[in-house]
Amino acid sequence: MRALHLTSHESPPALSELPVPQPGPGQIGVRIGACGLNFADLLMMQGRYQDTPPLPFTLGMEIAGTVETLGEGVTGLAPGDRVAVYGGRDGLAEYGVFDATRAVRMPESMSLEDAAAFQIAYGTSHLALDHRARLQPGETLLVLGAAGGVGLTAVEIGKLMGARVIACARGAEKLEVARAAGADHLIDARSQDIREAVLALGGADVVYDAVGGDQFTAAFRSARPEARILTIGFASGEVPQIKANHLLVKNLTVMGLYWGGYLSFRPEALTGSLATLFGWYAEGRIKPHISHVLPLDRAMEGMELLRSRASTGKVVIRIPG
């Protein structure tokens, strides 16, 4: 089978021919149809992600496909079932083996591309806003990186939860994507002072930050007393440093959210969130925004779209049978 395989953190991954893996006990073998790309894939290539597997490994964190084989002891799934899987790796390949507990049946109406773009982006935002920040109807939510893979879902989910949403992104084209997702107010990070613009709108109760760097600092300074600030990621490449005395003065709370981490210590929070989200999809209330669908042999072009922030929403790699 073909797979985008990484053998060194000093050189790019290569499309390689590898043996088709066979499932062990508790695992399923999946014919992969689509794989969603994530900023974490870029960090894994550099060995900088918190869950980077040991070399060598195949990239690709979330997939959608069809169950082909079952390992010993697997129940509740059958060959032919269409599933979405967050595997954390091994997704940019024609076949993959994953723990059966990580597989979720897709709604009948859901395409493989939508399913591959769904779990991490929507799961991160819903768990962050609902479970962690306890976003309430009528509160003001500021989303940084609002046209990105997770940021756009934060706009959409924040609006569904009844918040007033301020979307911050770079350039008119990306802001238009955020507006279409439900944003009430738009801030252009290229040309506007984020702090002044947010304060002019009354400040933020919840900040959703997938960017870091100077944008975090501006958002921090525009937060209302008792605001909750969610650190989701650092697309800017700069991890902000927080002065504890500033938290004290405004009674602020800064909280982290690593979606995949819930699999190891509180999986029911993650699975319950996904059940809600798949229900919303089936009802037509949410739908992934996918700006690019590329074949497996162009997967590195997709990675570059993420790195350069040239995409909006998700980039998906289609893996035809």
pLDDT in tens, 38-86: 999 999 999 999 889 999 999 999 999 999 999 999 999 999 999 999 9
pLDDT for position 320: 84
Rounded to a whole number, what is the distance in angstroms from the first to the last CA of the chain? 11
pLDDT for position 50: 87
Q: What is the 3-state secondary structure (H, E, C) of 172-199?
A: HHHHHHHHHCCCCEEEECCCCCHHHHHH
pLDDT in tens, 27-40: 999 999 999 999 99
Name the band, by pLDDT with cuts 50, 70 and 90, for residue 267.
confident
pLDDT for position 237: 87
User: Looking at the DSSP assignment, which residues form a beta bridge with residue 103?
Assistant: 85
pLDDT in tens, 127-182: 999 999 999 999 999 999 999 999 999 999 999 999 999 999 999 999 999 999 99
What residue ranges do the domains of the chain occupy? 2-118+288-318, 123-260
CA distance 238 to 69: 43
CB atoms within 10 A of CB 255: 11
Residue 321 clears pLDDT 80, i.e. is over it? no
pLDDT in tens, 181-227: 999 999 999 999 999 999 999 999 999 999 999 999 999 999 999 99
CA distance 62 to 231: 21
pLDDT for position 69: 97
pLDDT for position 112: 96
Residue 270 clears pLDDT 90, i.e. is over it? no
CATH topology of domain 123-260: Rossmann fold (3.40.50)
User: Looking at the DSSP assignment, which residues form a beta bridge with residue 6?
Assistant: 57
Rounded to 5 degrees, φ, ψ at 154 are: -65, -40
User: Looking at the DSSP assignment, which residues form a beta bridge with residue 168?
Assistant: 144, 187
* Average confidence score pLDDT of the chain: 95
The DSSP 8-state label assigned to residue 162 in this structure reads T
Strand pairing category for 140-144 and 164-169: parallel
Supply the pTM of this predicted model: 0.90
| Strand arrangement, sheet containing 57-58 | 14-17, 2-6, 57-58
Reported in sequence order, the residue ranges of 37-102 that DSSP labels E, i.e. its strands, are: 57-58, 62-70, 82-86, 95-99
| Strand arrangement, sheet containing 140-144 | 185-188, 164-169, 140-144, 204-209, 223-231, 253-256
Can you tell me the mean pLDDT for 228-247?
Answer: 92
Two structure tokens written together for 224: 């209302």
Of the candidates 62, 63, 117, 90, the one whose C-alpha atom is nearest the C-alpha of residue 4 is 90
CATH topology of domain 2-118+288-318: Quinone Oxidoreductase; Chain A, domain 1 (3.90.180)
CB atoms within 10 A of CB 71: 16
Q: Could you please report the per-residue DSSP string of 232-272?
A: ---TTS------HHHHHHHT-EEEE--GGGHHHH-HHHHHH
